[in-house]
């Protein structure tokens, strides 16, 4: 079964993109340490530097990096651009060469100490993410009626645990 059998194109686009970001998350996830800044600056050119920084900050925020890095929240991009001394508009050309984006993501994962997840780990991550961030709508797509159960105070992960 493919994702297209489960989700509409509109739902897939929402799942693959960036959600809205809170002011707290901008500060928490899009603040570069000195080491983070040096890692981002290792890229050639303002576009690559800013794109790499966006990936660096997005990975811990979402647990993944959407394919279209240029659609990152404007406020988050502006914060990174200010720290790096570049124009936020420099991100517009990022990812024109898909291999650059992929190479940067691999470097970011290595820098952060992340690795690819297997199916079981991914399912567990999804369930926890849905429990902690129900407002992002991801869980409702996979578990219709879940928001209503949450509002009624019913447990969310009992049925899921049996499937793991």
Rounded average pLDDT over 44-52: 94
Same domain, 125 and 98: no
* Residues 64, 135 within the same domain: no
Q: pLDDT-derived band of residue 135, with 50, 70 and 90 as boundaries?
A: low
Show the CA angle centred on residue 41, arms to residues 40 and 43, nearest 5°. Answer: 80
Within 8 A by CB and 6+ apart from 7, the residues are 15, 141
How confident is the model over 93-121, as pLDDT tens digits?
898 888 888 899 999 999 998 877 778 88
Position 67 pLDDT exceeds 90: no
Please check whether residues 92 and 123 belong to one and the same domain. Answer: no
Distance of CA 51 to the CA centre of its chain: 13
Domain boundary among 112, 135, 151: 112
Same domain, 105 and 62: yes
- The 10 Å Cβ neighbour count of residue 8 is 10
Whether residues 105 and 127 fall in one domain: no
Residues 129 and 108 in one domain: no
Res 6: pLDDT: 67
Question: How many structural domains compose the chain?
Answer: 2
Quote the DSSP letter at residue 72.
S
What pLDDT sits at residue 137? 54
Q: How confident is the model at residue 134 (pLDDT cuts 50, 70, 90)?
A: low
Looking at the structure, tell me whether residues 11 and 59 fall in a common domain. Answer: yes
Residues 138 and 96 in one domain: no
Both 80 and 12 in one domain: the answer is yes
Residue 70 pLDDT level (bands cut at 50, 70, 90): very high
Average pLDDT, the chain: 80
Task: Show the domain range for 127.
Answer: 119-163
Residues 107 and 123 in one domain: no
Q: Do 104 and 133 fall into the same domain?
A: no
């Amino acid at each position: 079964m493919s994702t297209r059998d489960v989700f509409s194109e509109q739902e897939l686009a929402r799942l693959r993109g960036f959600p809205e970001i809170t002011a707290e998350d901008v500060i928490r996830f899009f603040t570069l340490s000195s080491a983070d800044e040096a890692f981002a600056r290792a890229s050639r050119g303002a576009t690559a530097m800013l794109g790499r920084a966006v990936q660096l900050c997005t990975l811990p925020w979402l647990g993944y990096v959407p394919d279209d890095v240029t659609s990152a929240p404007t406020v988050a991009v502006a914060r990174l651009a200010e720290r790096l001394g570049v124009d936020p508009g420099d991100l517009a050309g990022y990812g024109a060469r898909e291999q650059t984006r992929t190479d940067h993501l691999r470097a970011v994962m290595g820098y952060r100490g992340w690795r690819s997840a297997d199916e079981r780990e991914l399912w567990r991550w999804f369930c926890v993410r849905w429990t902690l961030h129900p407002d992002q709508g991801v869980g409702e797509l996979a578990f219709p009626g879940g928001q209503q159960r949450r509002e009624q105070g019913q447990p969310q992960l009992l049925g899921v645990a049996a499937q793991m």
